[in-house]
Structure 1
Amino acid sequence: MDFSLTQRERDFSGRVREFMVREVRPSLKGYAQELATGDRWKPLQTIEQLKDKARGAGLWNLFMPPSGGQSHVDDTFEFSGERLTNVEYALCAEEMGRIGWASEVFNCSAPDTGNMEVLHRYGTRAHKDRWLRPLMDGEIRSAFLMTEPDVASSDATNIGTSIRRDGEHYVINGRKWWSSGAGDPRCKLAILMGKTDPQAEVHRQQAMILVDLDTPGVKIERLLSVYGYDHAPHGHAEVTLTDVRVPVENLLLGEGRGFEIAQGRLGPGRIHHCMRTIGLAEEALEAMIRRLGSRTVFGKRISEHSVWEERIARARIDIEMTRLLCLKAADMMDRAGNKIARNEIAMIKVQAPHMALAIIDDAIQAHGGGGVSGDFELAADWAHVRSLRFADGPDEVHARAIARSEFAKYRDERR
């Protein structure tokens, strides 16, 4: 068992790390000032300028094309980035994840990454020319419309949005929410999951379809907050679709194949969240250590009190264990495919947010009143990571899958 990194892994992660230190971190103040000035729902020039530098440095679309799947059209190399493996990308994503908005600098932010993977794997050449190319160029943004307010969407078979064939169009009616990215004025495309045949076998009722957000009948009802944060200029929206007419060629793969596409999209998407979360945990640990060493209580530095020694040690142990599990899942995805790695993906999806939440919470405690204020990023980071326990499937769904796999190992013994 060899845990050493390859030259390519060291090269890409090192270049991203260096870019974060040299370019992104010094831009934190400018980003905050720009976001606080005027309309919050606008493209930020701080990020746009960094995008040009990242592209020039060869650090652009690092996740493309997805590993473990081939395009249905022979244009793989035309629509590709640096062609990193999941392990290689994991190491880069951890570095990006240390600052919440940094992934966009490299054109590697959700939900665009997952949507680009869907278009790459399942889209036609026309879909790619119209949507994938501008997404990969960073000219537009996209949203993923799956979750619905009227049903428990952790069971995707509950999704009720109707996709009905009418001649050369599909007519869409439904209500979605937590449509991440829809608050950005550059958001032009949504990939929507709905039902084409409610009478079919339960996992063959759904389909995915491309929706131009400028289509009549699409309405952004409101932008949702997450623990009071609006996440501008990205945003999470509630969207209604009323008699939205979409050309039949916008349907991906065909009717009844929504779950097939979802599994291809959500596997990589889940692990991308975990990769970034590890970086955020490292950032919180560093902030905690610096704070503990800079303050004195009861005659000695806070870091010298034994309770904090225990918390720091626990944080380092938990980060290292989580990183190893994440890299194992990524390696299995590269070697055997997403389906074989499903248990590891489920395990890391549960573990990473729990680990990061505990460390961020301790970092907030170390900062005292400042920790819950807006003077530091810790409160916002905690709110973001807490939402990941729902995103791409809640903890309970992943735990259920893990437990069922364990029970299956001993099923024959019970007969």
Structure 2
Amino acid sequence: MTAAPPASDLDALLGRVRAFVAERCVPLEAHLQASDYATLWAGLADVRADARAAGLWNLALSASEGGAGLSLPAFGRVSEALGWSPLGHVATNGQAPDIGNMELLLGHATDAQKAEFLQPLLDGDVRSCFAMTEPEHAGSNPTVMSSTARLEGGEWTIDGHKWFTTGFDGAAWAVAMVVTDPDADNKYARASMILVPTDADGLEHVRKLPVMGDEAEGWFSHSEIRFHGVRVPEANLLGPRGGGFQLAQERLGPGRIHHCMRWVGVCERALSLLCRYAAAREIAPGTPLATKQAVQFMIAESRAETDAARLLVLDAAEAIERDGAKAARGKISAIKFTVANTLQRVLDRAIQVHGGLGVLDDTPLAFWYRHERGARIYDGPDEVHKTVVAREEMRRYPDAAPPAKARVGVDV
């Protein structure tokens, strides 16, 4: 467990992060909204260099790993501040899927793997991706996969089909979750994780997936890929053979705190845009939108729901720090569906108040509405997480609970 920093130190860091995001990230958003990625990447290169020089780099990692040495709840607060802009996490090298892969490799990679794959990622010289979900199977049940890897002559031969591989476009390597032990009695011990360079022979980039019509680029894109007899060294196995499912669960626990607090940051920005527009936009001379009760209700509900979501996530972060992700699985599932739905409602209200402007790419609202709708689906749909919460709650009533059933879906 990482010790929480003094409140004054955290407040000072949050102030620096908020100022950096407002001054350096927000001005670049117009290029993202216009899909002018060449200009965006050039601008981000400068911003990322400045973030590193300012000590705002790899903030989620421990001090020994070059990060800020924050507790999980403290980094949750930082993640919210970074979430004010779609570029905040990217600017500070804390974006998904890279941050999850960093944490995986820090905990399970060999020294050789850390030198080849991890260090360039920590330095911001390369990007990575995570290939698990398959179009042929329900993504909510990662124990069922068709992608395989066979160990032959000191090499893994990988065949399979993946999609929603976030950030594959431009990534240097992937963590591929594939079946290595199909006959294992324990279904949770059939898959492993293998590190695969994206320029390996036989790795096909089928297409970038158009999310509500937007393919995006780089960190903001999702891809469909195929492995056609891709061969990598046996030493590219990440962690223990058959440990893929366990590593995936380990990756998701803290990752949900990162994501959910980023979504809280999005809610804060959307509410700010809503309020500013409602105060400035007049529906008649001298009558701004903010004077209308319907708009006031939207503001009040958004404020209350955002604050409630924040407290729920910070409570889950405290539970993970205190008891571990497995013991906190009910709280982790609860924040996943609660905050994802709060995000959708707050964004929808902000768009509604902006009227026609809200559905244009003149503000970040439409970008978030397209790309964050998947929050209720990715990493386990709402329905699976609600089942986890209900199951955890029913354990308090053993006499009333139905007989235990086999676990299906994502256990976090």
CA contact (8 A) 1:62 1:89 kept: yes
Unaligned runs of 5+ in 1: 66-75
Amino acid at match of 1:206: A
User: What is the alpha-carbon distance in structure 2 between the residues aligned to residue 43 and residue 218 of structure 1?
Assistant: 28
Report the TM-score, using the length of structure 1 for normalisation. 0.91
Aligned pairs for 1:12-411 (under 5 A) are 12-29=13-30, 35-36=35-36, 40=37, 44-65=41-62, 77=64, 79-183=65-169, 185=170, 187-200=171-184, 201-234=186-219, 235-298=221-284, 300-411=287-398
CA contact (8 A) 2:191 2:245 kept: yes
User: What is the alpha-carbon distance in structure 1 between the residues aligned to residue 108 and residue 283 of structure 2?
Assistant: 59
CA contact (8 A) 1:153 1:159 kept: no
User: What is the alpha-carbon distance in structure 2 between the residues aligned to residue 22 and residue 216 of structure 1?
Assistant: 43
CA contact (8 A) 1:347 1:402 kept: yes
Cα deviation for residue 100 of structure 1 reads: 0.8
CA contact (8 A) 2:29 2:86 kept: no
User: What is the alpha-carbon distance in structure 1 between the residues aligned to residue 401 and residue 236 of structure 2?
Assistant: 49
Report the TM-score, using the length of structure 2 for normalisation. 0.92
User: What is the alpha-carbon distance in structure 1 between the residues aligned to residue 162 and residue 24 of structure 2?
Assistant: 37
Unaligned runs of 5+ in 2: 403-412
CA contact (8 A) 1:12 1:88 kept: no
Give the equivalent residue in structure 2 for 1:68: none
CA contact (8 A) 1:217 1:241 kept: yes
User: What is the alpha-carbon distance in structure 1 between the residues aligned to residue 401 and residue 144 of structure 2?
Assistant: 33
Give the equivalent residue in structure 2 for 1:71: none
User: Residues 380, 28 of structure 1: CA spacing in aligned structure 2 closer, same or farther, 3 A cutoff?
Assistant: closer
CA contact (8 A) 1:41 1:233 kept: no
User: Residues 414, 382 of structure 1: CA spacing in aligned structure 2 closer, same or farther, 3 A cutoff?
Assistant: closer
State the identity as a percent.
36
Deviations 1:277-319 (A, max 9, x none): 0000111111111111112225622111111111111110001
Question: In structure 2, the residue corresponding to 1:132 is in which secondary structure?
Answer: helix
CA contact (8 A) 2:130 2:166 kept: yes
Amino acid at match of 2:253: G
Question: In structure 2, the residue corresponding to 1:239 is in which secondary structure?
Answer: strand
Cα deviation for residue 42 of structure 1 reads: 8.7
Cα deviation for residue 194 of structure 1 reads: 1.0
CA contact (8 A) 1:269 1:392 kept: no
Amino acid at match of 1:21: A
User: What is the alpha-carbon distance in structure 2 between the residues aligned to residue 175 and residue 95 of structure 1?
Assistant: 36
User: What is the alpha-carbon distance in structure 2 between the residues aligned to residue 221 and residue 106 of structure 1?
Assistant: 30
Amino acid at match of 1:263: Q
The range that moved more, 392-401 or 357-366, is 392-401
User: What is the alpha-carbon distance in structure 2 between the residues aligned to residue 323 and residue 337 of structure 1?
Assistant: 20
CA contact (8 A) 2:29 2:364 kept: no
Cα deviation for residue 43 of structure 1 reads: 7.3
